[in-house]
Structure 1
Amino acid sequence: MTTDEASAETATGQSAADESTADESAGDAAGDSAARKASAPAWRGGFGRLWGAAVISRFGDALRAAALPLLAASLTDDPLLIASVTACGYLPWLLFGLLGGAVADRVDQRRAMWAVDLVRGVLMAGFALAVALGHSTIALLIALAFLLTTFQTLFDNAATALLPAVVPRDTLAGANARLMTGQQVASGFLAAPLVPALLILGASAPFAVNAATYVVGALLIASLRTEAPPKPPKAAGSTLRAEMAQGMRALWRDSALRGLSVATALTNIGMGALIATLVLHITGWLDAGNGGYAAALTAYSVAMVAGGLVAPRLAVRIGRIRSILVAGIVQTCALVALGTIRELWAAIAAMAVFGVMSMVWNVNQATLVQERSPAQMLGRISSAFRTLSIGGAPLGALLGGLVAGAWGLNTPALLAAGAFTLAVASLGALIN
């Protein structure tokens, strides 16, 4: 993932359920065809408001993502405890990810999204107040990360299912690229560099701004006039558990999505290890301070903007799955450089290269899921994909904390490189 968390992954079309005979070449051909048809979506008709809500919410999330590790590091110097904050931010995807997808297929996705944003705004406001009053603890940080991600399982799956109702199918790749690029502009050009300035105002300032962005995002989503995709009547006796199982089976029968979910799970082991300990890598192993940490995050986010321009074009030339394979190879090389060259400039360069290829991976992954999933099952299939793939992140975060404490603060980057190598090998097998 590359994530972010995450984040922000809006991921309709061809049924995965009746693609049980699709092989690797068929998956790539479908991706090629869709990529050639892809064009930029119109800002009118609801996409502009959805884009605005996604961008401003990501801006707030990026403030929190950058400030939270710094707050954790100020409370403890134990790498495992700091990594636990990140790990608990991923754990709800394992516990509630499938449930969030099934609920997203049942409810009005627009209403679910703005309601979730309002709840998250209240939570963040309460947390900001606790930090301002000096009541922040590692336990509180862990609880916040867990609660926010629990609500995010519904929000992200609802957003995935809603996007194809907002834009025409042949503009999905362009819509995904614009969404993700806009989010990275907000987080890279604005949020990450702004964190040190906000911290001058107080440790609670980034979290208070994050709370406000959730409220603004909720208002934008509530103003959408786009109707959610029509939902077929439920079979008598249908249960959430049965519907979740249908989504998992549909994902597993599609060879392209199955292979990609396995590869993404492997990369998320590496991403979990890297994200959970990056603040220690930059401020400790490189001795670059908070400014160096902000510079590395900025390089990553700004480079993802360039990746948003590259991703659709690369898919047209070589196909979606091959684009993801290329991205994984380049990311592996960047991680090796990050973990072996003890210079801030090398870390900034490695994070920039990593960021370009992260966007190539994310855009093509999200679009492939949309293209190969029937509209009435998109929430469930995307949640099954996320649950399988994100499942590696909390494990990686804990492993990163352990290896950093045992063998050095640079070793999580090398652990991540090993995980990406396995992912590249599995994608190569999918194509061949």
Structure 2
Amino acid sequence: MTTNDSDLRPAVESAVPSWRGGFGRLWSAAVVSRLGDGLRTAALPLLAVGLTDSPLLVSLVTAAGFLPWILFGLLGGAIADRVDQRRAMWAVDAVRCALMACFALAVWLDEVGVALLLVLAFVLTTLQTLFDNAATALLPTVVPTAGLGRANARLMTGQTIAGTFLGAPLVPLLIGLSAGLPFAVDAATYLLAAALVASIRSAPRERAPRPPGRTLRQDIAEGIRVLWRDRVLRSLCTANTVVNIGMSALIATLVLHVTGWLHAGHSGYAAVLTAYGVGSVAGGLAAGRISELVGRTRALVAGLVLQSCALIVLGTVRSLPVAVVVLALFGAMGMLWNVNEVTLMQERTPAALLGRVSAANRTLSTAGAPLGALLGGAVAAAWGLNTPALAAAALFACGVIALLPAVIN
């Protein structure tokens, strides 16, 4: 068994990204924006529950956040490769700031209905398809290639801390002061993030002349071809899609697993979510060192194996303390996956195609999320509340198999 060129360990993690300059500002913008996202993500369902008693309508608010990735994800990647990524990011954040400010005003004036929530979730995620793909393409312009792994780890760890441990817990306090306050703060975070991104000074990327009459459809097709022809990226995308189906099955039914099968109540559910968040932060802090020791693709395979084992334990051992421990491990290995997945894509994809290749990967993995949620609900209804975790374990094991071509030459 041998590793790929991108897995040569002495070279991959040797450079440490500097906090000064472009990376520091990009990191700050990402963390501030995720803080606002955490506020909005936690506050929107609470607002929806106050507006309707229909579980279907409440769930549609979440579904509206998935749909744009399926409809426009590939288009967002193609546009990100055509434009200046830095300008696209701050312009998108400026628009999102205006939208959230107007929405906060509507909440204060008590002029909000479920239809407005659906439209807001859909539009914000549509804008995010351009923002996220542009951000993936921008990072290699402000960080040396050898420092991408550590840069991604720091970005994702900071975002996890901001969204999970700062944003969500603040929501009850802010709502207690005013129902519209979480959304007003979210608007302010978008404005600050836009200013930070706009201040980044990165070297302009050289672009090959675009053939006359080149269409966005042709650009999208080129990105898909590059993803498919690269053995490592193809394996990574396949594994990511399968794993995301399992992840969605678990997330959709985790509250039932904890409160119903474990009989741990709401406090138990809060405990496992906290454990998952703590594990994710720990995984982000350790991702660089682990990748340095074993290589990126091997780290991905080892992480999926450990996650599969954690899910088997979760689905067979009826104990809240055990669930807390295994979900902490699951979160740590999930962050290891996220860091190395993005870094491998940035290392192996030509700069001019990074937005499109990233978009193709994200679109496929996101498309599996609704399927996974339905699978989790169906399995739980048919065979018991613990079985979605076991089904997810099987899918994670399939992800390991899908990754093997990336490790074996």
TM-score normalised over the length of structure 2? 0.88
Residue number among 362, 380, 389 corresponding to 2:356 in the alignment: 380
Whose Rg is larger? 2
Equivalent residue, structure 2, for 1:15: none
For the pair 1:146 / 2:127, whether they are aligned, the reply is: no
Query: Structure 1 unaligned runs (5+)?
Result: 1-23
Question: Residue by residue, what CA displacement relative to the aligned partner does 1:60-111 show, whole Å, maximum 9, x if unpaired?
Answer: 2122333444555566677665554433322222211111111111111111
CA–CA distance in structure 1, aligned partners of residues 380 and 179 of structure 2: 26
For the pair 1:168 / 2:144, whether they are aligned, the reply is: yes
CA–CA distance in structure 2, aligned partners of residues 75 and 411 of structure 1: 33
With over 3 angstroms needed to count, the CA separation of the structure-2 counterparts of 1:75 and 1:116, relative to structure 1, is same
For the pair 1:391 / 2:367, whether they are aligned, the reply is: yes
CA contact (8 A) 1:87 1:397 kept: no
Equivalent residue, structure 1, for 2:209: 233
CA contact (8 A) 1:67 1:206 kept: yes
With over 3 angstroms needed to count, the CA separation of the structure-2 counterparts of 1:269 and 1:85, relative to structure 1, is farther
Q: What does residue range 333-372 of structure 1 map to in structure 2 within 5 Å?
A: 333-372=309-348
Amino acid at match of 1:225: R
With 193-202 and 182-191 compared, the bigger mean Cα shift is at: 193-202
Shift of residue 137 of structure 1? 5.3
CA–CA distance in structure 1, aligned partners of residues 103 and 259 of structure 2: 25
Residue number among 262, 269, 276 corresponding to 1:300 in the alignment: 276
With over 3 angstroms needed to count, the CA separation of the structure-2 counterparts of 1:214 and 1:340, relative to structure 1, is farther
Equivalent residue, structure 2, for 1:8: none
CA–CA distance in structure 1, aligned partners of residues 383 and 313 of structure 2: 17
With over 3 angstroms needed to count, the CA separation of the structure-2 counterparts of 1:196 and 1:392, relative to structure 1, is same
For the pair 1:49 / 2:49, whether they are aligned, the reply is: no
With over 3 angstroms needed to count, the CA separation of the structure-2 counterparts of 1:132 and 1:149, relative to structure 1, is same
Q: What does residue range 10-159 of structure 1 map to in structure 2 within 5 Å?
A: 25=2, 28-33=4-9, 36-72=12-48, 82-132=58-108, 139-159=115-135
Sequence identity percentage? 61
CA contact (8 A) 1:38 1:173 kept: no
CA contact (8 A) 2:280 2:332 kept: yes
CA contact (8 A) 2:149 2:339 kept: yes
Amino acid at match of 1:380: R
For the pair 1:327 / 2:303, whether they are aligned, the reply is: yes
May I ask how many residue pairs the two structures share in their alignment? Answer: 408
SS in structure 1 of the partner of residue 221 of structure 2: helix
For the pair 1:193 / 2:169, whether they are aligned, the reply is: yes
For the pair 1:273 / 2:249, whether they are aligned, the reply is: yes
With 404-413 and 86-95 compared, the bigger mean Cα shift is at: 404-413
With over 3 angstroms needed to count, the CA separation of the structure-2 counterparts of 1:160 and 1:137, relative to structure 1, is same
CA contact (8 A) 1:324 1:364 kept: yes
CA–CA distance in structure 1, aligned partners of residues 108 and 314 of structure 2: 35
CA contact (8 A) 1:113 1:159 kept: yes
TM-score normalised over the length of structure 1? 0.84
Shift of residue 357 of structure 1? 0.5
With 187-196 and 417-426 compared, the bigger mean Cα shift is at: 187-196
With over 3 angstroms needed to count, the CA separation of the structure-2 counterparts of 1:38 and 1:333, relative to structure 1, is same
CA contact (8 A) 1:82 1:401 kept: no
With over 3 angstroms needed to count, the CA separation of the structure-2 counterparts of 1:297 and 1:329, relative to structure 1, is same
Amino acid at match of 1:296: V
SS in structure 2 of the partner of residue 391 of structure 1: helix
Question: Residue by residue, what CA displacement relative to the aligned partner does 1:237-273 show, whole Å, maximum 9, x if unpaired?
Answer: 2111111111110111000000110100011112223
Amino acid at match of 2:124: L
Shift of residue 188 of structure 1? 3.3
Equivalent residue, structure 1, for 2:199: 223
